[in-house]
Amino acid sequence: MIRAKKTASLFRWLLLAGWVSCLGLGIWWALAALWDEGAGIMGTPEVAFPVPLFPVIKEMGKLGYFLFVAIYLAFFFLSQWFFLCPGRIWKIKVQPQGRPMKRSAISAAFAVALLSVGLFFSLLDLLPGAAFEDGPPYFSCVYFSYHYVLILIPLALWCLWSVIFCIYWRQGDHYTWVGKVLRALIGGTILEFFVSVPIYVTRQEDCYCVRGSYTGLVFGATVLLWAFGPGVFLLFIKEKHRREKLLDFAQEQDQASKSGPN
């Protein structure tokens, strides 16, 4: 029994170390564009997001790209924080009682929206001549060219999934809900990889950074990292709850033995 507990504890710490390593690798990949080692997030439709501040950042060159990545990383970690906050107290934890807050559902909807966008643009990659451009019309193929319509799709999907999750949010407690959402996100990411990878491999005539399947891979990996962190956290919380129950049981037994007949 003791050996099994040590093995489980080692496994949890190895998972945590693996997540930190993968997260560091992902941050390096996003910043690699500063040294011309890759496209980073410049190969996804998010760079053309119609926010007035972003064109200004883009004109700043490498410093602007660094700020751009910093904005996405801040959004990445803040959404994880909101997802794990069960109540009005701004403390990261998962409690076995009480319904999850709406901000937790909206944060999970953000991750699902990324998966939906990645799948959508991966399928667009099957259209003849499909390509993303670093400027208007941002996406084009032989059938149509749109400016901001395709870029607004992530917001529309986020709002849609937020409504769905806020309705589903009412069922169960925060602890159970978080576990179900994380399992669904990991399963959805694997499914998206099954779709995006074959499309990416079979269409090599264009630069990888101007293809929809690249967006599917990037967003899928982002969601996998997003879900993996809270998933490891959930393992530690589960072990903590188990130890608390064992301690409470031991205390009850001790009190019962003291209050019993001599």
Q: What is the residue extent of each domain of the chain?
A: 12-83+103-241
pTM over 0.85: no
For the stretch 58-88, pLDDT in tens is: 666 667 677 777 877 888 888 888 877 755 5
For the stretch 80-99, pLDDT in tens is: 888 777 555 555 555 555 55
Angle (deg, nearest 10), helices 62-84 and 212-259: 30
Indicate the pLDDT class of residue 188, thresholds 50, 70 and 90.
confident
Q: Taking phi first (over 0 means left), then psi (-120 to 50 degrees means alpha), and beta for anything else, what does residue 186 get?
A: alpha
Q: Looking at residue 249, what is its pLDDT?
A: 45
Q: Looking at residue 68, what is its pLDDT?
A: 74
Query: How many Å apart are CA 82 and CA 28, to the nearest integer?
Result: 25
State mean pLDDT over 116-127. Answer: 83
Greater model confidence, 246 or 12: 12
Fill in the DSSP letter of residue 140: E
> How many CB atoms are located within 10 Å of the residue 142 CB?
9
For the stretch 204-236, pLDDT in tens is: 665 666 677 777 888 888 888 888 877 677 766
Q: Looking at residue 51, what is its pLDDT?
A: 47
Q: Average pLDDT of the chain?
A: 69
State mean pLDDT over 180-203. Answer: 84
